[in-house]
Structure 1
Amino acid sequence: MSLTRTELFVDGHWRKSSDGSTFEVVNPANGARLQAVSDATAEDVRDACQAAASAFAAYRKTTVKERTAILHKIRDLLLESKKEIGEILCLENGKPLAEAEGEVGFAASFFDWFGAECRRAYGQHIPPPAGDRQLVTVKQPCGVAAIITPWNFPIGMLARKTAAALAAGCSVVIKPAEDTPLTALAFAAVCERAGLPRGLVNVVPCSRGRVAELGRLLCAEPLVRLLSFTGSTAVGRLLYRDCADAVKRIHLELGGNAPFVVFDSAPLELTVRGALAAKFRNTGQTCVSTNRLFVQAGIYDRFVEALAEGMKKTLQVGDGMVAGNNQGPLINKRQLEKVQALVADAMAHGAQVVMGGRQPPQGGLFYEPTLLTSVSRQMRLYTEEIFGPVVAVYKFSTEEEVIQMANDTNMGLAGYFYTSDYQQSWRVAMALDYGLVGVNEALISTCEAPFGGFKHSGFGKEGGQQGLDDFMETKYICFGGLKL
């Protein structure tokens, strides 16, 4: 493939790691080796930070019109390369090819949005307290941004951060997840084709064994002014601590424990479609995936029956490169073992398996779409993020009860509920303690709206009008001694 790269992208050049080491990338659908990718060292990452700092010195002076042209060029090339990048993504991540290509389009949307939004990074005129002065604020780029991206949306999350950073006038050093570096390197190849200035975008993948060291380096590196991370809450806490010593700005988009609430008045067919989308997209491996499905007593039996029927009709397990398959493998053995352990714990505590609950005949990293009932708060999957194709259905009686249950978590990323009662729709939306709330809608992430959570799900917003804020500083200027 023309966009397949295996070397580091530093200062506009492709290069091997400083010690010549590599790590293997495998296809989770069949275990086949895809590529050996250069394994970045601390020296490589420092070089990338220096290159980004040098590029920033010139790039910060560009006009918004020039930045718009750059971002829209990347947008166009992503769309032109959607099939090729989608195939690379599918092979190393395992998600169905159609979803992978859709993610490339999703990534392009952020370059489209921020290419226009950078023209609206407005300052402010403040009415002065005295007649001989004028007070204004201006927005300026913060500097070099370190971006650490996850494996579950290897170009979607990269784009959401990078597009905002470039729109703000920042340069970036990207450390992609070790499971999915090829997609990030394909993005670097797109930036090379777009003719970006040297050092503006740098990509430094590394193996799992070097992740902790390079993460600490990015937190401590003085040239890096901001660190933006999407991943687990456990890793986010470590990065937060490491950034404290350098008093470095940090943006965290962490784990979730999303509730999906079905009230008695919910339209059944629409709600089942929403539950399938919220739970089984990317085989349940998304931070906004439904984790706990609460169904009111009056509709419970009908909903469980309809959901099971919908799962049987629409979910097909298999290699994402094969047409018709929409449930790919889990990303690696650790994730498979976690899902198996959560289901085993639930069954040991009395959960009933309506369907699934085991690996399909093809084995490997695949796991059957699973529906559990008779679940309780004592089970691990009530408090732990599942990150797999397992849906647990809880029964509730009253609105007050389910709001308490939905908010009974230290996470606060996304929540969903379905109702036909418009009074209830506003009341419950305001009561849910989540950064994102979907009312009668499960697919709510879009470039035009802010994305970010509450509590242990992190802080900061990506996308929307707020998306530039993390990558910009507000400077106040007082002009004194004026004769008006």
Structure 2
Amino acid sequence: MTTSADLTTAGVRRAAQARPLIAEADLPPARHFVDGAFVEGSTERVIDVVDPSSEAVIARIPEGTAEDVDRAVAAAVAAKNEWAGRLPRERSELLHAIADRLVENTELFSRLESANTGKPLAVSTDDVGQAVDTFRFMAGAVRATTSLAAGDYAENHLSVILREPLGVIGVITPWNYPLLMAVWKIAPILAAGNTLVIKPSEQTPLTTLKFAELVADLLPPGVLNVVNGYGSPVGARLAEHPDLNMIALTGSVNSGRAVARAAADTLKRVHLELGGKAPVVVFPDADLTAAASALRVAGFWNSGQECGAACRVLVHESVAERFVGQLVGEVQALVVGEPQAGEDVEVGPMVSKAHFDRVTGYLERAKKDGVRVATGGGALDGPGYFVAPTVLVDVPEGAEAAREEIFGPVITVETFTDEDEAVRRANDVPLGLSASVWTENARRSHDIAARLDFGTVWVNSHLVLASEVPWGGFKGSGYGRDLSIYALDDYSRTKHVMHNHER
């Protein structure tokens, strides 16, 4: 495959004047949130919260301990019976009230999210909108749960199926979607009648803490608790805690393994939404223009820091050169910049220096291994942790860049010769979260989608989500489902009550 693409990439757009996204008054209290109030931590150690666009420290939060977790869990345990006993209608009304509160504070949450993560304001605002919709959906779904009809399935014995809350849930959320991933857990957990303790990423805690602050008057004390801190000891204590009935994590594969191991001793339920390496299979009859345009968003939304990102293209060799040309044109037109540099900014920085080093390390190794850069390929001038939107071509089968989750603004392109090869290579990765198929042949689209080993498969689109349908993966991407009524199932248990009515 060849391309004459210009490797130059526009630099980072900066705000014309130093206009901070947030003021001191916008920040949440820099404490833990336990039993309905903000509380001091058990130690005086703090963690710096950094704006990845400027590298400036914008807040300091307490570094939580196992003792802080225990205090939060005790509050959640004390609150669980009263919350579980509320009627579905009552819990539904509270979830709608929370959604209303998010709507009222959309701009504030968007600015906080962008200041903490560097993501464009359009992305942050979309996150808030999806968070609102998640609460609205769960508020409705909890009032219309279904199960096996009551009836006599053994002679003279009436069977009744009950759905009950699990109890207390521990939640660990990632840094890429701090508010939205928290809500994907919080909404169904509360709807199902559980209480929870959540640990946001130590890098991006601000919107989770602000959420707790702004809904504190709506939820009974102890129903929602937030403990800041690192995976060890805070996340580890949640996973092993004997009073928790479940641990739910959105995060890396390594974090998922650690949580599952820690949870094993208490045999608590485990819900894991882990990484992805989404193949994009482009057949010769595909609308190449539409595919390239879609990948401009699906590959670089949230700067590619997205587990469902369209990051690995498998394109038929007969159309590869034409497709790459169109894709490179789309990618070179992306606007990279600080959140406050304009409404048209599409790509922000990596979330941290450590992640910036990780992504650029993948790019350097790929180039050393002979993979060719069609556009981008490295860091952009600072300050901030910006990486140029990148397309890598001439990627051989089994290359590191095509198998491992880079989690940055990088798309790799490989070619294939026939359908069987495309399916085999698409499936030949350890992760199985999402994929897409691009073809105008309806029979092919059904057949290929059925053969792909991924939890979500799009046809002629990518990264389109809805609250009504489940999200979750296979293989190394974990188990359990977010969104939809399947999430409510995950956070509840089934009880069979059988009545002998023989007379």
Q: Secondary structure at the match of 1:294?
A: strand
Residue equivalent to 1:436: 456
CA distance in 1, matches of 2:247, 2:102: 25
| Aligned partner letter, 2:331 | M
CA distance in 2, matches of 1:75, 1:213: 32
**Are positions 1:202 and 2:225 aligned together?**
yes
Range with bigger deviation, 281-290 or 212-221: 212-221
Change (3 A) 1:310 1:58: same
Residue equivalent to 1:376: 396
Q: Aligned to 2:254, which of 216, 234, 237?
A: 234
Please list the CA deviations of residues 322-378 of structure 1 after superposition, one character each: whole Å capped at 9, or x if unmatched: 213221110112211121121122111211111111222335311111111111124
Contact 2:432 2:475 in 1 (8 A): yes
**Are positions 1:366 and 2:386 aligned together?**
yes
Residue equivalent to 1:7: 31
Q: Aligned to 1:33, which of 54, 57, 60?
A: 57
Q: Secondary structure at the match of 2:142?
A: helix
**Are positions 1:427 and 2:441 aligned together?**
no
CA distance in 1, matches of 2:382, 2:27: 31
**Are positions 1:150 and 2:167 aligned together?**
no
Q: Which runs of 5+ in 2 are unaligned?
A: 1-24
Contact 1:351 1:372 in 2 (8 A): yes
**Are positions 1:18 and 2:38 aligned together?**
no
The alpha-carbon deviation at position 132 of structure 1 amounts to 2.9
Q: Aligned to 2:211, which of 167, 176, 187?
A: 187
Range with bigger deviation, 34-43 or 466-475: 34-43
Contact 1:345 1:379 in 2 (8 A): no
The alpha-carbon deviation at position 296 of structure 1 amounts to 0.8
Contact 2:118 2:349 in 1 (8 A): yes
The alpha-carbon deviation at position 22 of structure 1 amounts to 1.9
Contact 1:261 1:418 in 2 (8 A): yes
Residue equivalent to 1:317: 336
Q: Which runs of 5+ in 1 are unaligned?
A: none
TM-score for the superposition, normalised by structure 2: 0.93
Contact 1:415 1:436 in 2 (8 A): yes
How many pairs align?
478
Range with bigger deviation, 124-133 or 421-430: 124-133
Q: How does 1:125-140 map to 2 (within 5 A)?
A: 125=149, 127-140=151-164
The alpha-carbon deviation at position 23 of structure 1 amounts to 1.4
Residue equivalent to 1:417: 437
Please list the CA deviations of residues 37-67 of structure 1 after superposition, one character each: whole Å capped at 9, or x if unmatched: 1222211111110111111110110001101
Contact 1:251 1:459 in 2 (8 A): yes
Contact 1:134 1:478 in 2 (8 A): yes
CA distance in 2, matches of 1:129, 1:371: 59
Q: How much is the aligned-residue C-alpha RMSD, in angstroms?
A: 1.3
The alpha-carbon deviation at position 269 of structure 1 amounts to 2.0
Q: Secondary structure at the match of 1:151?
A: coil
Q: Aligned to 1:167, which of 173, 191, 197?
A: 191
**Are positions 1:404 and 2:424 aligned together?**
yes
Residue equivalent to 2:311: 291
Range with bigger deviation, 355-364 or 43-52: 355-364
Residue equivalent to 1:78: 102
Report % sequence identity: 35
Contact 1:280 1:389 in 2 (8 A): yes
Residue equivalent to 2:355: 335
Q: Secondary structure at the match of 1:146?
A: strand
Q: Aligned to 1:244, which of 248, 264, 280?
A: 264
CA distance in 2, matches of 1:294, 1:6: 46
TM-score for the superposition, normalised by structure 1: 0.96
The alpha-carbon deviation at position 272 of structure 1 amounts to 0.9
Please list the CA deviations of residues 12-40 of structure 1 after superposition, one character each: whole Å capped at 9, or x if unmatched: 01111122332110101111111111222
